[in-house]
């Protein structure tokens, strides 16, 4: 039953808002709704991998911020390679979080908070604390394929679904994904099975950093620029998306597809606030509450008797 | 007097207690036995208030009571001495004894420590434990902590009217012989103050300590007998509902090992932190049992061989090759398998299915370029489910929901299917019922026949004697004595014990 909870929530929400205004359910509206949350979805997919192993990544938003700045700065000199560069930087930042967590035994909420702080500063320093803009021609030349539509489907959305598909393949069909699941389900078993757990944990953090960077990349291309605060307000919805999707903080269950559903729930809730005329500034209040409720109802209490 | 009449309990549709009648007189010691899953722990939880029964009555001195929590039960004089000790390690002994009941020692919000220490000393005297009540609990030995736990329950005496009823849940499982004797002396001496319900897997102790024995099977009391004149075999028969084969340990299937094939050798190895010197050789097809009291250093030897800790000195050779790097992944690559004592923590990943658990240690063999061949994994799982007759609906079943015996079979299958030739068994039958134990013994014989070398730390001495080819008696980290254990010429319990303590 609990397994089906996320998509039932999504469908009920759609029906609820649809009853208020039927145009909400029109294909065009739904597609634009979905493409609006593409950066959030990509970030949440990365976050899923880390939560899947029972850790948390609080650096995603800062890495995405940094990525928007770095993409914009690198675009004139590197062209499309700016994308690869930014992805590599995200991977490295994530890996640093992983190394600090596993080798130095710093809890992940602290290590990622610290690495996020570093990423934020890198963004601020390199941007000179201001919003940067991409040259239109350069942007179209390097990343034109990312914007635009084919047969009414935005390319961004296709890209996001491809990324989800890749992450899903890693999670369900590959050795690292299986290992992530096992670490979330019971780390001592994985150690006693002769697996080098630390490597896989570092990999999970590195992938999360990479996905956060991709989210930043996509976002900066969409907005044609970068700023160290561009992705502000992404972190909470991303964590909410993972948790309401059905991946509990203790890890081991749920996964990427759950997060796809979770992100859609976040998107619908956000959009519905307009329909029910709730001011946008109130959003984070709502997501904060949803986060607490989501954690309180999904957590596996048999794994955590005591919370500190 | 404490009594249960026709007590019923269901968990999510499963009928766990089916009309249990249970009666304990003042000052009586009752032994409670039953296989795993017979409903023992549920019955105990009903008695000490951790679980509410849904039918029948609980009577204290003839009055019906209803415990909503263990604290309610304590107020009526029913206390529990937990198997997993419930003391808080970083508090002092007296703080633990009066945890939650500090009120009599409080004046103006501050605790009068002198008064509490004096009161704690009185409680400790009841269990003949001469320690400073201000000692940090963590500094005590396991047996001392057990006595403190008992003292904590006895402290109820001053707070309730009438006699106490004290539950002892497997209190002897990690105590040495001497400590067990001490505990029993204390319990017998306390009969004037309290009656006891003693739960144990060790039937000899049940017979020695109890007045009457309740045998529980499938949620029903199948027999109540006087302990005087009771026979172990008789009780076992009632617990299982059939005869236990005299060839319990499958000694008829014990074959000589191959003395020319040394799989593993420890050559003057010093285990970290113990300053000892251990040498041993494990041959193909041999079962080598490490025997000793709790804390004698058996587990560290297993963990060193498995690479979980690094030896200080000496050489470890696997098939003649010296090992230089110590990590579990290295050991697994060398064909060493480890079946841990804490099955649910280190053995089985709950939430993962049978095939995922079985291939966890050998994903390399079931993947290409990092992509898993799930069809092959499932085929492997089906093969081993069949081979070991694991009771599961399919290979997709969640291992967390299996019974202990079936979980242990999955762990065994994990290593056997990966071709491990050297297997460490750490308490492989802990917490298993008799039928499941017999299955494990059979599997150990199968592995020997296949030329696997096994190092065993057994749950009981009888098990070690029955299963092994060779026994190493360990005391204070050193191997004190070797025994040859050929069928028909096995050493006796007494032979071993005199070198253990």
Of A264-273, B168-177, B398-407, minimum mean pLDDT range: B168-177
Residues in B closer than 8 angstroms to A186, CB to CB, are 345, 348-351
Question: How many Å lie between the alpha carbon of A290 and the closest alpha carbon of chain B?
Answer: 26
Rank A25-39, A139-153, B155-169, B484-498 by mean pLDDT and report only the highest.
A25-39
Give how far the C-alpha of residue B26 lies from the chain's centroid of Cα atoms, to the nearest Å.
Answer: 30
The answer to whether A217 faces chain B, any CB pair under 8 Å, is: no
* Token pair listed for B246: 């005299």
For residue A101, the SS3 value is helix
Token pair recorded at residue A149: 């539509």
pLDDT at A114 over 70: yes
Q: How far apart are CA A19 and CA A10, in angstroms?
A: 14
- pLDDT category of residue B246 using cuts at 50, 70 and 90: very low
Q: What is the pLDDT of residue B475?
A: 83
The predicted-structure confidence for B250-273, as pLDDT tens digits, reads as follows: 777 888 888 888 899 988 888 877
B55, β-bridge pairs: B8
In a mutational test of the B interface, the residue from A177, A194, A246 whose CB has the highest number of chain B CBs within 10 Å is A194
The per-residue pLDDT for A298 is 65
3-class state of residue B285 by DSSP: coil
The pLDDT of B268-284, averaged and rounded, is 84
Domains parsed from chain B with CATH numbers: 2-240 (3.40.50.300), 251-345+420-500 (3.40.50.300)
Assess if residue A296 is contained within a domain.
no
Over residues A151-158, the mean pLDDT reads 86
A166 touches chain B (CB under 8 A): no
Chain B CB contacts of A173 under 8 Å are 371-372, 374
Run of H or E including B412: helix B404-417
Chain B residues within 8 A (CB-CB) of chain A? 306, 308, 327-333, 338, 340, 342, 345-352, 356, 360-361, 363-364, 367, 370-372, 374, 414
Helix (H, G, I), strand (E, B) or coil at B500: helix
The span from the CA of B127 to the CA of B122, in Å, is 9
Neighboring chain A residues of B413 at a CB cutoff of 8 Å: none
Contact A163, A210 (CB under 8 A): no
Mean pLDDT of B372-386: 93
Q: Is the pLDDT of residue B103 over 90?
A: no
Rounded CA-CA distance B341/B339 in Å is 7
The verdict on residue A181 lying in a domain is yes
* Residue B188 host element (H or E): helix B177-189
What domain count does chain A have? 1
Beta-sheet pairing, B258-270 with B313-318: antiparallel
What percent of chain A is modeled with pLDDT above 70?
96
Distance from CA of A183 to the nearest CA of B (A): 9
pLDDT score of A206 more than 60:
yes
**Rounded Cα gap, residues B94 and B136, in angstroms:** 9
Contacts of A23-30 with CB under 8 Å at 24 or more apart are A24/A271, A24/A272, A24/A275, A27/A152, A28/A152
CA of residue A136 relative to chain centroid, distance: 27
Task: With CB atoms and an 8 Å threshold, state whether A189 touches B345.
Answer: yes
- Average pLDDT (A222-247) is 89
Tokens of B88: 């808080």
Answer with the residue of higher pLDDT: B404 or B452.
Answer: B452
| Band of residue B312 on the pLDDT scale cut at 50, 70, 90 | confident
Q: What is the structure's pLDDT at A260?
A: 95
For the cut 70, the answer to whether the pLDDT of residue B403 exceeds it is: yes
According to the model, what pLDDT value does residue B232 have? 83
Residue A262 lies in a domain: no
Hey, what are A104's tokens?
């130095």
Element (H, E) at B20: strand B14-24
A221 is a domain residue: yes
Backbone angles phi, psi at A107, to 5 degrees: -55, 145
- In-domain check, residue A267: no
Is A200 within a domain?
A: yes
Q: Average of pLDDT values for A101-113?
A: 92
Q: Which residue has the tokens 């605790």?
A: B111
Q: What is the mean pLDDT of residues B94-105?
A: 87
Strands (E), B227-370: 258-270, 278-284, 287-291, 313-318, 321-322, 336-339, 367-368
Which range of residues forms the domain containing residue A113? Answer: 26-231
Q: What residues have CB less than 8 Å from A8, skipping those under 6 apart?
A: none
Give chain A's largest Cα–Cα span.
57
A176, A182, A184 ranked by CB distance to B360: nearest: A182
Structure confidence by residue, pLDDT tens digits, B167-190: 988 887 777 788 888 888 888 888
Give the total residue count for chain A. Answer: 308
CA-wise closest residue to A72 among A132, A147, A146, A156: A132
Name the packing angle between helices B434-449 and B404-417 (round to 10°): 10
| Per-residue pLDDT reduced to its tens digit, B204-218 | 889 989 999 999 887
Which ipTM score applies to this complex?
A: 0.85
Report if residue A134 sits inside a domain.
Answer: yes
The token duo for A91 is 């991977």
pTM score of the predicted model: 0.76
Q: For B420-445, write each residue's pLDDT tens digit.
A: 899 999 988 877 777 788 888 988 99
pLDDT of residue B493: 75
pLDDT digits (tens, 9 = 90+) for B323-339: 888 889 889 989 999 99
Helical residues (DSSP H) of chain A, grouped into ranges = 5-20, 27-36, 38-52, 60-78, 81-103, 108-127, 136-143, 155-173, 175-192, 197-223, 235-245, 256-275, 283-298
Buried b (16+ CB within 10 A) or exposed e, A26-43: eeeebeebbbbbbbbbbb
**Number of Cα atoms under 13 Å in the Cβ half of residue A206:** 15
**What would you report as the CA-atom Rg of chain A, rounded to the nearest whole angstrom?**
19
**Of A192, A196, A253, which is closest to B351 when you measure between CB atoms?**
A253
Residue A12 located in a structural domain: no
| Position A308 pLDDT exceeds 60 | no
For the cut 80, the answer to whether the pLDDT of residue B27 exceeds it is: yes
Q: What whole-number distance in Å separates Cα of residue B54 and Cα of residue B17?
A: 10
The answer to whether the CB of A53 falls within 8 A of the CB of A101 is: no
**pLDDT tens figures, B223-239:** 899 888 888 888 877 87
């Amino acid at each position: 039953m609990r397994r089906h909870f996320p998509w039932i929530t999504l469908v009920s929400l759609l029906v609820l808002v649809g009853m208020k205004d039927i145009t909400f359910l029109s294909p065009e509206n739904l597609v634009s709704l979905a493409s609006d949350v593409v950066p959030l979805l990509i970030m949440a997919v990365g976050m899923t991998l880390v939560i899947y192993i029972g850790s948390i990544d609080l650096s995603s938003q800062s890495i995405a911020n940094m990525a928007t700045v770095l993409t914009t700065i690198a675009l004139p000199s590197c062209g499309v390679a700016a994308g690869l560069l930014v992805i590599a930087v995200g991977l490295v930042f994530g890996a640093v979080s992983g190394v600090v967590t596993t080798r130095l035994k710093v809890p992940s909420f602290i290590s990622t908070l610290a690495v996020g702080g570093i990423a934020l500063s890198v963004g601020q320093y390199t941007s000179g604390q201001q919003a940067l803009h991409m040259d239109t021609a350069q942007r179209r030349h390097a990343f034109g394929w990312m914007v635009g539509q084919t047969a009414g489907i935005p390319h961004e959305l296709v890209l996001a679904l491809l990324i989800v598909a890749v992450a899903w393949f890693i999670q369900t069909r590959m050795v690292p994904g299986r290992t992530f699941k096992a670490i979330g389900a019971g780390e001592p078993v994985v150690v006693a099975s002769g697996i080098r757990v630390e490597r896989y944990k570092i990999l999970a953090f590195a992938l999360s950093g990479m996905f956060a960077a991709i989210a930043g990349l996509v976002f900066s291309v969409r907005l044609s620029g970068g700023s160290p605060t561009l992705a502000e307000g992404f972190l909470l919805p991303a964590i909410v998306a993972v948790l309401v999707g059905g991946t509990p903080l203790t890890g081991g269950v749920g996964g990427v597809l759950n997060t796809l559903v979770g992100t859609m729930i976040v998107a619908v809730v956000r959009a519905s606030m307009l329909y029910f005329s709730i001011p946008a500034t109130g959003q984070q209040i709502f997501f904060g509450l949803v986060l607490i409720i989501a954690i309180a109802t999904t957590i596996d209490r048999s794994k955590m008797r005591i919370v500190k | 007097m404490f009594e249960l009449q026709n007590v019923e309990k269901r968990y999510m549709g499963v009928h766990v207690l089916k009309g249990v009648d249970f009666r304990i007189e003042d000052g009586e010691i009752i032994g409670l036995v039953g296989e795993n899953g017979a409903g023992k722990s549920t019955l105990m939880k009903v008695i000490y208030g951790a679980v509410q029964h849904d039918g029948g009555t609980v009577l204290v001195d003839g009055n019906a009571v209803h415990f909503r929590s263990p604290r309610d039960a304590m107020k009526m004089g029913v206390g529990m001495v937990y198997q997993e000790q419930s003391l808080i390690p970083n508090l002092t002994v007296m703080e633990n004894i009066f945890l939650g009941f500090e009120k009599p020692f409080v004046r103006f919000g501050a605790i009068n420590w002198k008064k509490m220490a004096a009161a704690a000393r009185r409680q400790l005297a009841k269990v003949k434990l001469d320690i400073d009540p201000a000692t940090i609990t963590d500094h005590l030995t396991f047996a001392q902590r057990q006595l403190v736990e008992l003292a904590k329950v006895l402290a109820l005496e001053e707070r309730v009217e009438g006699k106490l009823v004290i539950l002892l849940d497997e209190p002897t499982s990690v105590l040495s012989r001497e400590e067990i004797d001490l505990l029993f002396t204390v319990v017998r001496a306390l009969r004037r103050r309290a009656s006891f319900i003693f739960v144990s897997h060790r039937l000899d102790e049940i017979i020695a300590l109890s007045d009457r024995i309740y045998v529980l099977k499938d949620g029903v009391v199948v027999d109540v007998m006087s302990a005087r004149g009771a026979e172990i075999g008789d009780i076992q028969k009632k617990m299982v509902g059939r005869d236990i084969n005299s060839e319990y340990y499958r000694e008829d299937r014990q074959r000589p090992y191959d003395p020319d094939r040394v799989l593993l050798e420890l050559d003057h190895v010093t285990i970290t932190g113990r300053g000892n010197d251990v040498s041993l050789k494990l041959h193909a097809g041999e079962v080598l049992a490490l025997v000793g009291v709790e804390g004698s250093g058996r587990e560290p030897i297993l963990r060193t061989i498995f690479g979980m800790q690094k030896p200080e000195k000496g050489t470890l050779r696997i098939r003649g090759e010296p090992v230089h790097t110590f990590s579990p992944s290295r050991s697994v690559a060398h064909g060493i398998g480890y079946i841990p004592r804490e099955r649910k923590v280190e053995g089985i990943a709950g939430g993962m299915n049978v095939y995922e658990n079985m291939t966890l240690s050998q994903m390399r063999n079931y993947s290409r370029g990092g992509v898993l061949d799930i069809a092959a994994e499932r085929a492997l799982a089906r093969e081993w489910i069949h081979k070991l007759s694991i009771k599961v609906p399919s290979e997709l079943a969640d291992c967390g929901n299996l019974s202990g015996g079936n979980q242990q079979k999955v762990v065994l299958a994990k290593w056997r299917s990966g071709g491990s030739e050297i297997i460490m068994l750490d308490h492989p039958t802990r917490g298993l019922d008799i039928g499941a134990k017999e299955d494990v013994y059979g599997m150990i014989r199968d592995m020997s026949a296949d030329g696997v070398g096994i190092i065993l730390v057994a749950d009981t001495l009888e098990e070690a004697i029955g299963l092994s080819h060779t026994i190493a008696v360990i005391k204070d980290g050193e191997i004190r004595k070797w025994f040859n254990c050929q069928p028909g010429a096995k050493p006796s319990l007494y032979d071993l014990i005199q070198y253990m303590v």
